[in-house]
């Protein structure tokens, strides 16, 4: 059986990788694409079995992904799905390495995160494509000798022939080009000193184990380019789960200590009008998000704020920040159960900031609401969703007319209020309030007390009493209220 050599790499003018193709990986990522999507890796990223790969200095998350590599044997341009496999000459193992620390830097192209020298080990043996059924290959990956990936190509989202045919619609696949076909669940993070092995097999036929050793890089990044940057979302995606990354599990009933299930229930039990008066008593007068309408005004919503900021459109900057997996898509795709995505659109009503597909994605991820002080596209579809959206107005235009999605999880302004990630948002038919987490418990308790008092006052007014001395309660009426409430003080309840 032929082996992968430097000559194999010399013939590879293109290395094309697929984002998501295995159902197990799609389930892990929480998204199943309707069509395949791709990115390019430079041929200089190719390396042989037994090679060492550097985890760049200052980086934390060098991800490994065992994959089936296809090597094109004859040019393919506008080929059919039925004919596509005949253009593949070889099948072998590959490892799609990348540093999650740099994913943010290239807006979805993966150039720096996936394109480093040695980041695409391939080999060791070449399996003739004519000798195997592409729907019955097995892929296995070992991390320091432990089997961590074990899947087959039987139920791929996009069979290999479809990938070849699809790519050939717009570009010529040339002899020697390499296609990386996606990774199953189980991909994770390798550290210096670790060894990762990948093997592709079809019955007794095998590629042999592709061995890659990880070393620590020693040359720091220069200050004139993007440097490493990680957060817990990248850690979770690199390791495959919060648990594997060593992060605390997120309880849907208690997504954060700032909003326990008990506190959430308290805030849901009182009106924003009551909460507003309690916040005012504490000197907070500028905590309402104003001027917006709700698609579901009958709902009362409580959740933790996640934030997204749009800046005014500038055509050159939209080219670099508007496309790919931009800040808008990152915000939507990372919102968690019970959270509320709050958008700063500067009150700009001349374009949309959210549409039906992204709103649906937020709803599927469990978002409690979306709040934007800009426009909403596909309004009828968004308004029909169970998840409320608070908006300035419907508008048919795309965000690129007036906005660039710029950054997420930062302090923003929305509807005249300052909102920070982790603030508690409460919204109902009266309006939307921003509650500092440190005050939420006492504000909730005092609001419950206030509404109990107001229930007594309402009953007395219905009986014909004047509001003089009753609203607010004077000493005489307070005594009567305490008797009515069956208590002498809060502590005796």
Q: Residue 28 has what pLDDT? A: 76
Q: Residue 274 has what pLDDT? A: 94
Q: What is the DSSP string of 114-153?
A: H-STT-EEEEEEEEEGGGS-TTS-EEEEEETTEEEEEEES
pLDDT of 27 above 90? no
Region of poorest pLDDT, from 241-250, 296-305, 332-341: 241-250
Where residue 233 falls among pLDDT bands split at 50, 70, 90?
Answer: confident
Mean pLDDT of 156-167: 96
pLDDT of 217 above 60? yes
Q: Residue 23 has what pLDDT? A: 87
pLDDT tens-digit map of 372-404: 999 999 999 999 999 999 999 999 998 888 999
Cα 343 to Cα 310: distance, rounded to the nearest angstrom? 7
| Residues facing residue 340 across a β-bridge | 305, 369
Mean pLDDT of 242-266: 73
Neighbours of 472 (CB within 10 A): 11
Cα 125 to Cα 314: distance, rounded to the nearest angstrom? 50
- Give the angle subtended at the CA of 454 by the CAs of 452 and 457, to the nearest 5°: 120
Q: Residue 250 has what pLDDT? A: 57
pLDDT of 311 above 80? yes
Cα 123 to Cα 247: distance, rounded to the nearest angstrom? 35
Where residue 492 falls among pLDDT bands split at 50, 70, 90?
Answer: very low
pLDDT of 118 above 80? yes
Q: Residue 107 has what pLDDT? A: 67
Where residue 106 falls among pLDDT bands split at 50, 70, 90?
Answer: confident
Cα-to-chain-centroid distance, residue 180: 23
- Return the structure tokens found at 484: 């009515």
Cα 349 to Cα 397: distance, rounded to the nearest angstrom? 10
Where residue 320 falls among pLDDT bands split at 50, 70, 90?
Answer: confident
pLDDT of 244 above 90? no
Mean pLDDT of 447-454: 91
Q: If you count DSSP H runs as helices and E runs as strands, how many of each does the chain have, helices first? A: 14, 30
pLDDT of 117 above 60? yes
Q: Residue 221 has what pLDDT? A: 92
Q: Is the dihedral of CA 127, 132, 134, 135 positive or negative?
A: negative
Cis amide bond preceding 130, omega within 30: no
């Amino acid at each position: 059986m032929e082996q992968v050599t430097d000559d194999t790499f010399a013939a590879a003018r293109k290395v094309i990788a697929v984002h998501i193709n295995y159902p197990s990986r799609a389930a892990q990522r929480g998204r199943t694409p309707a069509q395949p999507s791709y990115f390019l890796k430079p041929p200089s990223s190719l390396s042989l079995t037994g090679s060492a790969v550097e985890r760049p200095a200052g980086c934390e998350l060098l991800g490994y992904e065992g994959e089936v590599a296809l090597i094109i044997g004859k040019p393919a341009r506008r080929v059919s799905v039925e004919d596509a496999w005949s253009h593949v000459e070889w099948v072998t193992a590959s490892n799609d390495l990348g540093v999650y620390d740099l994913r943010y830097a290239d807006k979805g192209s993966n150039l720096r995160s996936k394109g480093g020298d040695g980041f695409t080990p391939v080999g060791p043996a070449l399996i003739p494509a004519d000798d195997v059924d592409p729907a019955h290959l097995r892929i296995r990956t070992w991390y320091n000798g432990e089997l961590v990936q074990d899947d087959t190509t039987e139920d791929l989202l996009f069979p290999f022939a479809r990938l070849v045919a699809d790519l050939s619609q717009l570009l010529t696949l040339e002899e020697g080009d390499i296609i990386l076909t996606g990774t199953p669940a189980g991909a994770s993070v390798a550290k210096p000193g670790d060894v990762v092995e990948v093997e592709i097999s079809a019955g007794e036929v095998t590629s042999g184990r592709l061995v890659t050793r990880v070393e620590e890089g020693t040359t720091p990044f220069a200050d004139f380019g993007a440097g490493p940057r990680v957060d817990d979302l990248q850690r979770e995606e690199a390791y495959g789960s919060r648990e594997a990354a060593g992060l605390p599990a997120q309880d849907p009933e208690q997504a954060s200590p700032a909003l326990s299930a008990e506190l959430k229930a308290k805030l849901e039990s009182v009106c924003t009008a009551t909460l507003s008066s309690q916040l005012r008593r504490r000197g907070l007068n500028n905590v309402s998000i104003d001027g917006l309408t709700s698609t579901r005004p009958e709902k009362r919503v409580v959740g933790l704020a996640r934030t997204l900021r749009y800046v005014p459109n500038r055509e050159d900057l939209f080219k670099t920040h508007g496309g790919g997996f931009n800040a808008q898509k990152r915000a939507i795709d990372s919102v968690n159960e019970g959270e509320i995505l709050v958008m700063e659109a500067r009150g700009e009503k001349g374009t949309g900031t959210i549409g039906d597909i992204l709103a649906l994605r937020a709803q599927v991820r469990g978002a409690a609401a979306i709040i934007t002080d800009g426009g909403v596209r596909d309004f009828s579809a968004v308004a029909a969703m169970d998840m409320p959206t608070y908006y300035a107005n419907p508008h048919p235009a795309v965000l690129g007319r007036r906005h660039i999605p710029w950054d997420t999880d930062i302090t923003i302004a929305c509807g005249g209020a300052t909102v920070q990630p982790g603030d508690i948002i409460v919204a109902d038919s009266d309006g939307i309030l921003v509650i500092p987490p440190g005050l939420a418990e006492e504000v909730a308790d005092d609001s419950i007390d206030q509404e109990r008092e107001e229930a007594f006052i309402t009953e007395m007014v219905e009986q014909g009493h004047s509001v003089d001395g009753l609203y607010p309660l004077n000493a005489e009426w307070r005594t009567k209220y305490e008797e009515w409430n069956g208590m002498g003080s809060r502590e005796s309840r």
